[in-house]
Chains A and B, each alone.
Chain A
Amino acid sequence: MRVFGPKGTQTVAFAALWAAAAMVLVPVVGILVVMFVRGGRAVSWELLSTVEGGLLADIVGTIALVALTAAIAAPVGIGAAVYLSEYARRGPVVRVIRLAIVNLAGVPSVVYGLFGLAVFVMLMKFGRCLLAGACTLALLVLPLVITASEEALRQVPERLREASFGLGATRWQTVRRVVLPNALPGMITGLILSIGRAAGETAPILFTAAFIALTKPFPSSVFDPIQALPFKLFYMATEAHGVAEDVKWATAAVLVGLVVAMNLTAVVIRARLRGARRW
């Protein structure tokens, strides 16, 4: 039964789809507005630069965590991606590895936290520390890093590989001299975006790395525990008493600011390389 006719249905469909798209915008804008209006009032140089009552230790801890996570996830993730896309021939082994990567991506982050506690903190006796947290987060981002790196490798045209092989290069020489240099920018972009996700995760570091007010706020080795922004936020929102609502939002704003800064770096790297590359 036609109520509207073709023109009418077209209008209705358009309105409905527009509303769906607009609805996506509402929470994003809402979060940003609340966060920056409320948090903005509390963000101050003092908040960022003091340990006691400020966020300095949490910022430093988060940055250290992110850096170490990248240092662990990058070689493993990129190595796995190179193997899968440059070396492996289709077969059961590769299928199993790919299946594992997909499943790894689906594991809830709190399960990683528990796994990290069991393996890195207890079994390997790292204790609750920077290293244990970074290892746990590295596992979490590994599927993302592998997927992004494979994508970057696929972007390198096949004819460059052929040219290299045609000159008598071995596979490793080809990977090392042609494929990696051309894929690396894309890989780095993917890596930064993946690590950006890890920076805001709470559950994986809850049992493995993070504390609230440490007597020694800055880690001097990877075996020291750390403070971290997402955990601080979690703590302030659930257990702490007498923390001004604005300070919570300010903490959130700092965390989001950090992640956004990382993503922007990735975007800039990508834009630079797009400009430099024309094949």
Chain B
Amino acid sequence: MESSGANSDSVIRSEGEVKVEARGLDLFYGEFQALRGVSVAVAARRITALIGPSGCGKSSFLRCLNRMNDLIDGARVEGDVLLDGERIYDQGTDVAALRKRVGMVFQTPNPFPMSVYDNVAYGPRLHGCRGRAELDETVEKSLRGAALWDEVRDGLRKSALDLSGGQQQRLSIARVLAVEPEVLLMDEPCSALDPTATFRIEELMLELKERYTIVIVTHNMYQASRVSEYTGVFLMGELIEYGQTTQIFEMPRDQRTDDYVRGRFG
């Protein structure tokens, strides 16, 4: 079994258009190195799953793709991340504009303590959308996109905190869709949800991939195999294997991937 990791030539590159690419990415939190030389190309309008045991760096990697790690004191990145071929860690990068293009859905639903409507309108308002009719339209479209419209259409003025956990997570998705991103980063979006709500989110992801590039971090290997076309396996800060999901689960090239997907550790 070869174990030279994802940098080797044997890695299957995503077919078709590449949306996001990491090249030799290292991430440090102070002295601690969270990522080691991660290189991967993420296919446009596909779902890419990142799996691996807790603390392996998969969430940290995800947060590199929209520079969310910038918010952490002492976090430092080396190497490159490219979005449509442009380096996002360049000096002149407008980080706010980057995060508008690369939206993020977090592990726990995190609606703002405002109405459902204001939650969805938050992003468009940030970016200068003021017109009543235009906002109404965006809010409806986004809520429909997140398969939440029918449940909240009569309660748009109600507090988002009154929604169920699954609804709140779909609201978080609607809120991201409202700023019309190109990439959706999802950090274990179903870990706080029950199986029914999880199923709805998965269905939604399959619809969304028509238009968006989706990268999802998940603890749940069944989820990865159900929804994704490509899977990357992280272990101790390294991307040990990356390829088509069927290949990763059926004939992994790396012994450690085999051990992990068969549940021998993690």
Interface residues of A (CB under 8 A from B): 89-90, 157, 159-170, 173, 177-178, 182, 277-279
Contacts and interface: CB of A to CB of B under 8 A. Distances in A.
A153 to B, nearest CB: 15
B258 to A, nearest CB: 35
B59 to A, nearest CB: 12
Nearest to B98: A168
A86 B156 CA distance: 31
B112 A178 contact: yes
A178 B123 CA distance: 12
Interface string B135-165: 0000000000000000000000000010000
Given A89-B73, A169-B126, A173-B126, A163 B99 contact: no
A167 B73 contact: no
B214 to A, nearest CB: 15
A168 B113 contact: no
A164 B113 contact: no
A165 B172 contact: no
B66 interface: yes
Interface residues of B, number: 26
A277 B68 contact: no
Contacts of A159: 106, 108, 110
Nearest to A182: B113
Given A90-B73, A159-B106, A178-B112, A164 B122 contact: yes
Contact of A168 (B71, B106, B112, B179): B179
Contacts of A279: 113, 161
A167 B100 contact: yes
B97 interface: yes
A276 to B, nearest CB: 8
Contacts of A90: 73
A164 to B, nearest CB: 7
B99 A165 contact: yes
Nearest to A157: B110
Given A157-B110, A162-B106, A168-B96, 12 more contacts: A89-B73, A159-B106, A163-B106, A163-B172, A164-B112, A166-B66, A166-B68, A166-B106, A168-B100, A168-B123, A178-B112, A277-B113
A278 B113 CA distance: 8
Interface string B78-121: 00000000000000000011111001101010111100000000
